[in-house]
Structure 1
Amino acid sequence: MHARAVAATTTALLGTATLLLPAPQARAGSAQPTVIAHRGASAYAPENTLEAVDKAAELGIDWVENDVQRTKDGELVVVHDDNLKRTTDAEEVFPDRAPWKVKDFTAAEIARLDAGSWFGPAYADARVPTLKQYMGRVELHHQKLLLEIKNSELYPGIEQETLKVLDNEGWLDGPHLESRLIVQSFSADSVRTVHELKPAVKTGLLGTPAVADLDGYAAFTDQINPSYGSVSAGYVASVHAVEGAHGKPLEVFTWTVNDAGTAQLVAGYGVDGIITNTPDVVRDALPAG
């Protein structure tokens, strides 16, 4: 996830939010926040690879987060950036294909790329997985998925295509919908589309929208998921005070927290989830729930 703003209408000054409610330490009787491995356990294995999913499982982390984009020939793949330069050897393999945008490569071409050596030589065999492959690995470990639809403006119809893959892989049945799947995006339009296409899917809106706008977003989302630097106890309490699309208080999953002190701070704010590259560090920093 990028720390860029969603849009002017979905970003509020922190001071505005914190004035609305007092700053409680946490909701009374609330459980410890869920720990979500950002792009898999990406501090320990190359992000958004099957190896990062495996590492999260090895650490005992139930939830993983990933990023979904679309290839030239319509395959959904798990990669964060809209180009392949940072996390693959695309420049070396395809030197004449600048700027190496995901949407300009076929799935077969992307499958040729080394998606791990940039992280370390031990991961030279890592590849950019398709969403189907990724879902299979998450299911193998009996994990749960926070799926981010990336750059939806580049990929018209990606919401329906994502839901189709999820359905084909058995992830739109009752047990998965109840407790194992959340679909999120920085794009409010994308989140709304997912909700309209499959109302039973739990959704999250990335960013820090103004408190005054929460009621509008709550019609189609269940979470507001901001950067940790943009939240306070008052803002979290304001979000919790609004009922989301499935008749429960809106939740807050915050990102990207990688140290014990910050994890304890945002847990004190009452957040429901913490997205982190170092899920073991965050988990161990939180009191046993």
Structure 2
Amino acid sequence: MNDHRRNLFFYYHQNKELNDKLESLFQLARDNDFHVVEDSREANIIIAVGGDGTFLQAVRKTGFRQDCLYVGIRSQNEAGLYCDFDIDDHDEMIDAMKNSEVEVRRFPLIETTINNESTFHCLNECSVRSTLIKSIVIDVYIDDLLFETFRGDGLIIATPTGSTGYNKSTKGAVVDPKLPCFQISELASLNNNRYRTLGSSFILSGERTLKLTVRQDGNDHPLIGMDNEAFSIRNIHDVTVNLSNQVIKTVKLKDNTYWNRVQRTFLD
């Protein structure tokens, strides 16, 4: 581990059992010349302790930092696509970081711009869904082409790493994160003589622009999901999605690839 990367910030949801385990980890870090800081802005390594959901929150709450590394630690005995380390194996993490047995993995982000005004980043996915007990109608543009008019419960736009989450539950493809792209999947589309969609997920190159125009028929403030947080924004006219030129840099064990994780999570 680079000697300049010594300031650690821990992001976690406090409870007594976890607090007790972390105290020994904090001390172990200090004993090995790492510094535990209270302000994430002072850190050059941000450590999320929990699971994949906690990791997503840590990245969002700390502003998708481009000048630091993110590390995921599992606090429960469960597989995680963002978490390489286990809370009960302190020595493995410290030894790996000290002895350069880790590598930096770069995960792509998407940029979501609402009404050409507010832009948000997403590491997993952005979803647009109806907040009413009725279907939502969305015109789907790829670059300047009106590709289809969707009617249904909503659409999911997933990054490659997000392809294993909400996207996969809708029968979307699992995508290698080394591919610069993003995927669009349908939620309960309605196909008839008036509305016709592709009926399957499709993947766009990172050079493409996706634009979703929401029909103003009562669904003018749909629910916008960004990773594992929901935003209800009034008067949604359009949502524009691009692959960001920014990435999230995470620490991974050298012998633990993305596909090792997928295999462990879904096939073991």
Higher strand share: 2
- Please, what TM-score do these two structures have when normalized by structure 2? 0.26
Instruction: Return the structure number with greater helix share.
Output: 1
Where relative contact order (Cα < 8 A, 6+ residues apart) is larger, the structure is 1
User: What is the TM-score with the length of structure 1 in the denominator?
Assistant: 0.24
* Structure of greater Rg: 2
